Chains A and B, each alone.
Chain A
Amino acid sequence: MQSTADAFEDLRKDFPVLNRRVRDDKKLVYFDNAATTQKPNQVIDAISDYYQNHNSNIHRAVHALAEESTEAFENTRDIVAKFLNVEDSREIIFVRGTTEGINLVAYAWGRDNVKEGDIIVTTEYEHHSNIVPWQLLTQEKKAQLKYIDIDDNGELMLDQLDDYLSTGKVKLVTFSHMSNVLGTISPVEEIVSKCKNAGVKVLIDAAQSVPHMKVNLNEIGCDFFVFSGHKMLGPTGVGVLWAKKEVLEKMSPFLGGGDMIREVHKYETTWNDLPYKFEAGTPNIADVIGFAKAIEYLEKIGMDNIRNHELELTKYALEEMKKIPGLTLYGTKEPEKRGGVISFNFNSVHPHDVGTIIDKDGVAIRSGHHCAQVLMEKLNVAATNRASFYIYNTKEEIDVLITALQNVAKVFKL
């Protein structure tokens, strides 16, 4: 596939929802991709095919359906591993999403390894899912939670990380690969290398990065890596936690129950091998199988092509938005340092009002705090508007957004 705008526009036919009309028969312009992406027919059909032709529980029964289902489910694990350049697919743990993945680490690794006085370092631009689990853990353990602040450009102030690491008390540094509000791409290499030098574990929340750029886990060198399938064309309810085998093997289990055990006796249990030790209960079989199709779809386009396409859209949108009087843009001005996420405020109009007014023109953006209230506090706003792009978006759609925003000014007589 060529990385031309035409080739990307051609993808739209695979996404039935993009043909929808909304409100007053307006063409849908879907710019809420950082919240969740739309699904192509390939994914929808795979889920439907699973229920119509193969539905069965996995890993135990020996009948035909069970074997087919097990194979398709486990095949996804291999596809995920290959996608991330992970050699051993037993390091791929299926979870419900990024939130569950981070909670798994906080619970299963954190409770065994974090003690009173220890420090967990996170950042000011984290999603609540990478703050609250660590608050729960540090409160329980009487440990400390510290933040790397952001500067006026929306970038992390890494000298603070040096200060924290120099205390010798840091057990884990956990951060977003890409901010879900500012779009800032974190300097992963630099953070990981600082932490490795200090012998500190690193968790990367990749919910906003894996869908949009090439990621090579063999090179990154972090200890935990978490993301969600539904933000990358896949179904909701599927996410991935990756960690090194040696780390996972030493960790206590997260949920107890079926499939995660080797032998259960009245008062003691031994654990199953990886990855099953962390996958208690019947997993989300159909959606995991659908997720494989999402990854195949993205790989066919090429992650570098996707990144370039979004960069083009982001540059164009930033240019056009700068022309609107009274519009405040958040985050770095350098498009190369950010993903396809643009947060903004428009004069003093509340984001909810902006969202409702442009929704009339069929434009779907997100208005609110984006589950990042710590960042909102830093920016000194209650909320922002956020437009976020994906493979099927076009420059023409950005033009629709711009016109819709001009309409907001009219309604509020600005």
Chain B
Amino acid sequence: MSGDPIYTEMIIEYSRNPSNFGKIDNAHIHQHDANPLCGDTIDLYLNIDDNKISEVKFDGHGCAICMACCSVLTEMIKGKTLDDVKKFDKDELLSELGLEHLVKTSPVRIKCALLSLKSLKFGIYSYFVDKMKDSESAGNLNEEAANLY
């Protein structure tokens, strides 16, 4: 663990001042998820306009890793097309925060990091299937989300 820091300046800063923290009323996508191990919960809100993510917010309770990952994820996807977001993968998110090592070093804490991405994938999947009635576009997002960790 000594060689692979978790509590970097950036993570601590995000945990104190998360980005895009809050709620969107009547959001096009609202995804709630929880980490059964620690009781952490997050709610992810997305508005979609013109096939792009026009607005994104999250709220909930989580550890520093969870809060930092939610912050960075929401920053990274804002303005992206749904196709981009479908392709977004965990390495992109983890490397942004220097947390790639968690995949190998901490099977427990990786769940804190990826709760955000799991919610995003499930949320977009439900949007295609429920709201757009387009299961083809939803692709295998559901499966992907379920197999993230």
| A residues in contact (CB < 8 Å) with B | 23-24, 349-353, 356-357, 359-360, 367-369, 373, 376, 382-383, 411-413
Contacts and interface: CB of A to CB of B under 8 A. Distances in A.
Contact of A353 (B37, B65, B106): B65
A376 B1 contact: no
B1 A412 contact: no
Given A382-B38, A382-B41, 20 more contacts: A23-B1, A23-B2, A24-B1, A350-B15, A350-B40, A350-B61, A351-B38, A351-B63, A352-B63, A352-B65, A353-B65, A356-B106, A369-B39, A376-B39, A382-B40, A382-B61, A382-B62, A383-B39, A412-B64, A413-B12
B116 to A, nearest CB: 15
Interface of B: 1-2, 6-7, 12, 15, 37-41, 61-66, 106, 109, 112
Contact of B39 (A24, A356, A368, A413): A368
28 contacts: A24-B1, A24-B2, A349-B64, A350-B61, A350-B66, A351-B63, A352-B38, A352-B40, A352-B65, A353-B63, A356-B7, A356-B106, A357-B7, A359-B1, A367-B38, A368-B37, A368-B38, A368-B39, A369-B38, A369-B39, A373-B39, A382-B38, A382-B61, A383-B38, A383-B40, A411-B12, A412-B12, A412-B64
Nearest to B106: A356
Contact of B63 (A350, A369, A413): A350
- The binding surface of chain A is classed by DSSP as mixed
Nearest to A413: B12
B7 A350 contact: no
Given A353-B64, A411-B12, A412-B12, A382 B6 contact: no
A357 B6 CA distance: 9
A350 B7 CA distance: 12
Contacts of A411: 7, 12
A368 B2 CA distance: 24
A368 to B, nearest CB: 4
Contacts of B61: 350, 382
B149 to A, nearest CB: 15
A238 B107 CA distance: 27
Contacts of B62: 350, 382
B64 A350 contact: yes
Contacts of A353: 7, 15, 63-65
A28 B66 CA distance: 27
Contacts of A368: 37-39
Nearest to A412: B12
Contacts of B37: 368
A23 B105 CA distance: 11
A413 B38 CA distance: 24
Nearest to A354: B63
Nearest to A22: B1
Given A350-B63, A382-B38, A382-B40, A356 B12 contact: no
A411 B9 CA distance: 9
Contacts of A367: 38
A359 B7 CA distance: 13
Contacts of B66: 350
Contacts of B7: 353, 356-357, 411-412
A411 B41 CA distance: 24
A350 B112 CA distance: 11
A352 B109 contact: yes
A364 to B, nearest CB: 13
Nearest to B13: A413
Contacts of A360: 1-2
A385 to B, nearest CB: 11
A411 B112 CA distance: 19
B25 to A, nearest CB: 24
Nearest to B6: A356
A337 B115 CA distance: 39
Nearest to B39: A369
Contacts of A350: 15, 40, 61-64, 66
Contacts of A23: 1-2
Contacts of B106: 356
